[in-house]
Structures are given as structure tokens and as C-alpha cells.
Structure 1
Amino acid sequence: MQKVDVLIVGGAAVGSAAAYFLASQSDFKGSVMVLEQDFSYEKCATALSAASIRHQFSTPQNIQLSQFGSQFLKHIGDYLAVDGDVPDVGFHEDGYLFLATEAGREVLQSNHRIQKAQNVDVALLTPEELRTRYPWMQVDDLVAGSLGLSGEGWMDAYGLMRGLRRKAMALGAQYKEARVTALQREGHRIVAATLSDGSSVACGTVINTAGTGAAALARSAGIALPVEARKRSVFYFTTSAQLDNCPMVIDPSGAYFRPEGKGFICGVAPAPEDDPECYDFDVQHTLFDEVLWPTLAARAPALEALRVQRSWAGHYDMNTLDHNVILGAHPEVDNLLFANGFSGHGMQQSPAVGRALSELVTYGGYRTLDLQAFGWERVLKNQPLYEINVV
């Protein structure tokens, strides 16, 4: 039976970030293997995401995670260059714009205070300032907008994931295309992972970065992980309208749109009653026709005339407790680390979470950011750490 010091289950953005930081950590002397069930990454959340990063969260820890993510992107060559070749992730630092009606004023202002305390470069804009900056926007129903002035925007998520993977491999991490069917537990430790071909890999530490497969992996070790798959559809459309200086716009309804190439992408979460656990990839076209298009046309009247060119569906690994990542070891299993339930934030938080996981493996605790608030204690005590700004 093959044995490795650290076994990472799930090789997309978070798993590859963990592999990279471990392999680049001078104090870590062990071996790393990443098990990924599909090397095409065709259906992984990273490849199918809206590929955006923001600092405008309601919890300081989420802000700090994404602040490091932006710094990582801006200096990606310092981290991920291989033989002088730097990954091209196409970071467009054009900001997020959260819009609020009277009903959302208090939340927007409260979030703003939290963000400023974390040195987020963000500005509150009046309706008049919004109209001046974005003359194409309908603002009559708005009381304010919160605009990220730096560090926020969008990128090539697939390019980031591939860059992390390539650098991890260059530093010695081993990747294997394989599906884990179960973790073998003996007392308070995981001793091996069983693969779909019947073989096993013995391990010192296991990191669960399996996305929407994380709950099943945890169950095989006797742990109930409150993470479910939630489908999110993304639509790419073109229009003759000119929306100058358009950021990532978050409408008060929760719908979003932003530029992408020569067009735009948009999306919105279904109503809670229409958002069950789901693993299919069928696009929710009625959501566009009945919710998104009317919302876009109301916010930017020029978008009444548009053409959907393509669409796709992916999944959030949704933490049903509080929409925040569950990070670190479960008290019942010493050597099983979790990084699950990102609820749509995994790609942007992957650099900081990968670094945090490497610190837990190497030092037994966090060294850079204090992320204990994301640990299992709140889950086991049913004390949610709510993230209000979920898009």
C-alpha cells in the first residue's frame, strides 16, 4: 500500500492551494498527494463559477481571507511562476458595487463600518453620485451603493486553479486521478483512503477539499458535515448597450451582472423554496426569463435589448448552518482537516485557506490569520457565524 504524509482529496482551487503552500513551506518536510476524480475539471465549482473576488463581506475573517487573495493575484508571479512562466489569470480590478434600497440601508452601513475597520478600500455612494458615475443606471429606488475601489474584481478562475496545480507539481506534490470511496478510520485517526479501483493509500494527514462531495467523504469517517450542493446558473449575454465603467453590480434583489469579454454575465440565487440540494447541471432558464431579465432591464434600461449567447450551471458547496467555510480538524478525528462549505467563496479564498491548511499541518495552528472562528466548535454548538453578504 502506498503511503503519503498528507493526502488531499479534491484537486481544484482549494486543494491545489493547500498542496502548493505545503510544498513551498520550508518547515514542512513530508510528501503530498492530491487525489482528483476528474483531471478535466469540467464539472468542478472553480471552472463553473462567476470567478470574482471581493472584500465586501460582513465578517472580518472573510474580509481577511479575500484581502490575501487579492494580494496573491496581484503578485502571482512571485508565487506561481514555473521556470519564468507566470500564469495569466486576467485579474480585472474593477470593483463590486452593492446597491441598497431603504430596506437594506442599515445592513449596508453596518457592513461598511466592519469593512473600514479591516482597511477595505470601499466608498459609500449616494444616489446622485451613482447617477453621475453610472449614467446608464436607474437609481430612483436606491438610497446608497457600496463600491470597492481596489482589490475587487474578476479573473480567469480556471487559470488560477491550473497555476496552483502546476506550481504544486513543480515543487514535488503528486497528483493522481482517482475517486475516494471511503476513509478508513481507526479510533481518532484516519489511516487510509479507499479508492474506487479497490486500492488504498495510507496517510498521515487527510485534507477534505472535495467540494460538493465533502459531506459523503466525511460520512465515511463517521462525521456529519452540514454541507449540501446548491445549483447556480450563469448566463452570458451580449448587447449593443454601452455600460461604461461597469463593475460587478449586486442589485438589491440579489441578482448580479458584470462585464465578461465583449458581453456580460449574470445570475441570481433561486428563491429558498426553489433551491433544494441538487447535483444535476441543468440550466435554470426560467430563472433568467422570469427574474433576471426583468431585473436587469429595470436597473439598466439599456439591457432590455440583449441576447443570451450561452449558459451553464455549477454548484455551491453550501454550509447550511451559516454560509461560512468549516475549517480545521473535527475534535473526534485528529488528522482529518476540513475546508468545506465555502458557499460560493472558495475560489477567491483559496490562496488564504491553502496557506492556513499548510500551517495547521506544519505547526498545528494558524500563524498568519487567526481563523479559529471558522472551526468546528460553532457547528457542534449550533452557534452560527453568519455571513450576510452571500451572492
Structure 2
Amino acid sequence: MALPIRPTHQTYDIVVIGGAMMGSAVAWWCARNPDFQGRILVIEADPTFEHAATSLTNSCIRQQFGTAVNIQISQFGAMFIDRFKEFMEDDSAPDIPIQSFGYMYLADNDSFAETLANSQLLQASLGAGTQMLSPAKLAAAYPFYNLDGIIAASHNPVNEGYFDGGTIFDWLRKKGGQLGVERIHNRATGLRLGANKVTHVALASGESISCGAVVNCAGTRGAEISAMIDAPLPIEPRLRYTYVFEAETPLPRDLPLTIDPSGIHVRSDGRYYMAGAAPDDDHPRDPDDFAMDHNLWEDKVWPALAHRIPAFERIKLRNTWAGHYDYNTLDQNAVLGPHPEVRNFHFCNGFSGHGLQQSPAVGRGLSELLIYGAYRSLDLTALGYERIRANAALTERAVI
């Protein structure tokens, strides 16, 4: 059913700009909280979500991060997925299993092997099941790898792998609507400020909506929205390519999401396999640029796959697409929470490919800020905007 263009009311307590996974998660978490009795409006420029990162994601989750806050965010995400029916409070909600084939990071140099080992210690201290594997152990468990040059690996087979993010997204929108969340097909064109807060959101259709708070969930256009309050964001669209292929000789077991030193990653995808790669020239793109580089498959991706997994010398490409990361050039980490001065403007931007798996914890955290003025469950302060202004990176090295 098509969304209406114009809002029902002139005033909303919370206006969410961007209605994909993050915007839907924020709106749902707020609406389900009995302590919130206000109105929520979600503004979505493209309700088909044809080019949204939510639609073009590879839909995976992992705990193998190098910062504690990201590990904890994904741990809650895994728990949310596991208890999805309970969170939806609806017996008709589906079970959403995680296909836990895990992520497999391969190291071909001492520096990266040390990074993996240090990260494993951090992950294990927080309860993750990550293990370091020697080449011998790796070869015994996964004999289909060519381990030439590989000196170590990191793998976590618990709550890491693929999940059905599309179904979760559908249910967040559905349940949000049942709880009173209003969604419109429109675009925010300006923000009016007064007394150090956003007082109105201007719409492309001509209306000016008064608001109690604004949440910027605009994905690759997040920097455009924050510029409306003169708040620079180091976030830009970056192209990422996905390839789905069939192997003439399938592997004897599920393939972990393998991050090869070449920069290519590949995993099982049902009876097929899914690989991903960045362009060789990884520069910012226009938000509407989704052009494929068809030479990259033949020149880089397929050779890298066949080198690491010789069975992939005989494969048939079945599907390809291009998507975008809302890439944070400072530290590849999310920017969350209120602006230091314009306190009712909240950031929810720059996930750099982690957004789908982080949406449960981020939606919960921002709802707590919006309703109570502080984080109550998981402290996400380290991901605040202050570090952007101070140019103080919280670098996440585990970016794919």
C-alpha cells in the first residue's frame, strides 16, 4: 500500500528522517515503550527501499569487532534475533534463526595476526566464542582452503553468520504502524532552529512540521541532513559490490564468511555462495550512483576466490548488485546521539556496513535518549558526535 505524502498532524514529538532499518528500529522502540505517549512521524524519500542499504545488505552479524562497544552492540543484536517473537509480542511472528557459520578472518602477516589475537582476547573477555586458529587447525577443519601465505586465522562459530534481516525490517514497520507510528512518502528539505533546538522540519510537499526531537536516519544522505544545522559529518556514499555464484563442486560444509587478505569476502548462501568486494578506486560516489564495475569480477574477484578456494575455479555467476555504505571516513564507526548544542537533534549515521546487525541495540539506545534523556541499557556514549568535532577517532579495524 502506498504511503501518504502529507502528514496527518502539524506537530510531532519525534520526527525520524529516513525510514529504512535504522529509522524503523528507532520508531518501533520508542512506540513500544509505555513511558512514551507522543506522536512519531517517519519521513521516507523512497518507500520502495530499492537502493537502501537495508535492501542491498548481505544480512550478516558478527561479534568479531575490535572495540568493546561494537561487540556489545552485536551481542544484543544476536539476543534480539534469537528472541524476536518475544520482542514482537506476537505469536504469529516468525522465528529468525542465525545460521552460525561464523566469520573467518585470515592473516598473512604478523601485524594483522597480532591484531586478530588482541581482538580475540577482548572478544573473549566479553563472552564471545572467538578462537584463534593455526594453519594446521584451519586445514584440519576446512581442508578446502589454500593456505599459502596464511599464518593465522580468527573464527567465532557462535551467533555469527547470516540472518533474515528483511523479515525483521518488515515486522518493525508493521508493528510500529500498529503502535501508532505514522509514515509518509516525502523528503525533509530544511530544519528551522530556535533557542538551540530544531523547531520545525520543512517538507518537499510544502508543510512545515513542528517537532520535539529529530533523528537523522538518512543513510548515505545523513551528511546532507546534518548540514541543515551546520553540523559537518565525515560520511559519504561508498560503492560495494555483491556477487552470488554457484559452484560446480559444492564445498562439503558451510563456508564461513571468509575475509581474505586480498580484500574479498565470501560465504555460503544456501545452495549458492555470496562474495563481496570494494572497487579498486574506493572514492565517494553520488548517492544515486549504483553502477557495476563488470570487469572487477573477472580481473580481481574470481581470481582471488579461485586462489583461496580452488574448488571455486569452476563457478557460474548467478546474480550481481551494487550497494552503498554510509562510510564514516574518520573511524568507520557509527555517530549516535544528540548534537552538543542542538540537543533535540540526534545522529544515527555512519555505520560503514554494520547497520543492519547494529539496529536492535542502536534503536533501543536512541529511544532511551529520546524518552529518558540518557542511555539506560547499553552506554553508547563513545559513539557520540563530540569525537567528530574533536577529530578523535574511535577506530574500528574490523571493517569489511
Q: TM-score, normalised by structure 1?
A: 0.96
- Give the distance between the partners of 1:380 and 1:355, measured in 2 at CA: 25
* Structure 1 residue 115, shift from structure 2 partner: 1.0
Q: Which amino acid aligns with 1:50?
A: N
Secondary structure of the residue that 1:324 maps to in structure 2? Answer: coil
- Give the distance between the partners of 1:355 and 1:40, measured in 2 at CA: 25
Find 1:62's aligned residue among 63, 66, 70.
70
Tell me which residue corresponds to 2:48. Answer: 40
* Structure 1 residue 72, shift from structure 2 partner: 0.5
- Give the % identical residues: 40
Structure 2: runs of 5+ lacking an equivalent: 1-8
Tell me which residue corresponds to 1:308. Answer: 317
* Structure 1 residue 81, shift from structure 2 partner: 4.8
Tell me which residue corresponds to 2:153. Answer: 145
Find 1:337's aligned residue among 343, 346, 364.
346
Tell me which residue corresponds to 1:214. Answer: 222
Question: What CA deviation, in whole Å up to 9, does each residue of 1:210-258 have, x standing for no partner?
Answer: 1011111111222211111111111111112222231111112221101
Question: What CA deviation, in whole Å up to 9, does each residue of 1:33-91 have, x standing for no partner?
Answer: 11111221111001001111100000000011111111111111011254x22146453
Find 1:374's aligned residue among 383, 386, 389.
383
* Structure 1 residue 376, shift from structure 2 partner: 1.2
Question: What CA deviation, in whole Å up to 9, does each residue of 1:291-345 have, x standing for no partner?
Answer: 1111100110010111111111110001111100010111121100001000000
- Give the distance between the partners of 1:108 and 1:334, measured in 2 at CA: 38
* Structure 1 residue 277, shift from structure 2 partner: 3.1
Tell me which residue corresponds to 1:7. Answer: 15
Answer with 175-184 or 53-62: which moved more.
Answer: 175-184
Find 2:128's aligned residue among 112, 120, 129.
120
Find 2:331's aligned residue among 305, 311, 322.
322
Tell me which residue corresponds to 2:356. Answer: 347
Q: Which amino acid aligns with 1:127?
A: P
Query: Is 2:85–2:95's contact at 8 Å kept on the other side of the alignment?
Result: no
- Give the distance between the partners of 1:371 and 1:88, measured in 2 at CA: 28
Query: Is 1:127–1:140's contact at 8 Å kept on the other side of the alignment?
Result: no
* Structure 1 residue 187, shift from structure 2 partner: 3.7
Secondary structure of the residue that 1:298 maps to in structure 2? Answer: helix
Query: Is 2:104–2:155's contact at 8 Å kept on the other side of the alignment?
Result: yes
The reply to whether residue 385 of structure 1 matches residue 384 of structure 2 is no
Distance 1:303 1:242, change over 3 A: same
Find 1:86's aligned residue among 85, 93, 97.
93
* Structure 1 residue 365, shift from structure 2 partner: 0.7
- Give the distance between the partners of 1:44 and 1:211, measured in 2 at CA: 8
Find 2:307's aligned residue among 281, 298, 310.
298
Structure 1: runs of 5+ lacking an equivalent: none
Matches within 5 A, 1:273-288: 273-279=281-287, 280-288=289-297
The reply to whether residue 110 of structure 1 matches residue 118 of structure 2 is yes
- Give the distance between the partners of 1:281 and 1:85, measured in 2 at CA: 36
- Give the distance between the partners of 1:183 and 1:44, measured in 2 at CA: 23
Tell me which residue corresponds to 2:3. Answer: none
The reply to whether residue 358 of structure 1 matches residue 393 of structure 2 is no
- Give the distance between the partners of 2:359 and 2:118, measured in 1 at CA: 26
The reply to whether residue 289 of structure 1 matches residue 298 of structure 2 is yes
Q: TM-score, normalised by structure 2?
A: 0.94
Q: Which amino acid aligns with 1:383?
A: A
Aligned residues: 389
The reply to whether residue 134 of structure 1 matches residue 147 of structure 2 is no
Matches within 5 A, 1:210-249: 210-243=218-251, 244-249=253-258
RMSD value, Cα? 1.4
